[in-house]
Amino acid sequence: MPPRVDEDMPSRVASGGPASIVRYLAEKKALDVFERIRERRPPGALDDNPGAAPGDAPERLPHLLVAADTIVWCDRLIGKPADELDAFLALSSYRNRAHEVWSGVSLVDLATGDTDTFAVCTRVTMGDYSDDDIWRYIREERPFDKAGSYAIQSSWGAHVISVDGDYENVIGFPWPVVKAHLIPLLKNVARRELPERTREWAARMGVRPTKVSVGSARKRWGSCKQDGGIRYTWRIMLGNERLVDYLVVHELAHLKQMNHSKRFWAVVEAALPDFKARRKELRALYNSIESEGWG
């Protein structure tokens, strides 16, 4: 959702330097979208979801909102260029020196409004290049949608001597840092939503777990104990609602069959006729999480 905000800021923010500026802009964007979402869908409210497929529980899981803003700082704030001359002046200012790429990121739990806003800085050192090099780049690659007037992954990257910090931040989004900040929020979502989701499905399946908890297991999505206790890993929140529902149904089915016999899978299928497709998707999610190195 594109934010509907201008980038004006109080003088106290502008005088605070690049970290203050990007944090302010990211949070301004986040709060604008957050308020618009709240007007459209009150946090925690059940959706009508008239198009839900058979076997789907009401859509209830909240989402995490991610807003970001990136600038370049080289003695001054440099955003996206207004025109060719603006781009030329920006690229000229980096010649034979270092500049900083700053990103502000604001993460919002849409159900609670809890916000985590932070700034990430990467220092980029450029080598020598001619005015002709600059004009050729501007006219061939038209970098008018790029903060700082260049994309490091483009041909302009040939002029970069060194990158000190997160390279992905220079591309435009500091994903490794964001990922670390997302984990606590995802854990909170899991602790709030998985017990509720389990109660909803337990009522539909005619079972009653004794306890529902959330942990950080890496090799197992969930487990069901002989005493009726069910435990999930927060990592399931990296999946979509189809996969959350499959995991919940799978563990609740163990309250009827504590094994993976044909009778067990019949219980799962009665709740989710397309369980095989969901199970396949869950395996793909596991592989994706492992390859992306989630902690």
* Catalytic annotation, residues: 69
Tokens, residue 124? 């980029």
State how far the Cα of 263 lies from the Cα of 230, in Å rounded to an integer. Answer: 20
Map tokens 């076997």 to a residue. Answer: 55
Could you tell me whether strands 115-126 and 98-109 are parallel, antiparallel, or unpaired per DSSP bridges? antiparallel
Angstrom distances, CA of residue 82 to CA of 102, 158, 287? 19, 24, 43
C-alpha Rg value of the chain to the nearest Å: 24
State how far the Cα of 118 lies from the Cα of 269, in Å rounded to an integer. Answer: 45
73 forms beta bridges with 77, 100
H helix count then E strand count, the chain: 9, 8
Map tokens 């739990």 to a residue. Answer: 109
Could you tell me whether strands 229-233 and 211-215 are parallel, antiparallel, or unpaired per DSSP bridges? parallel
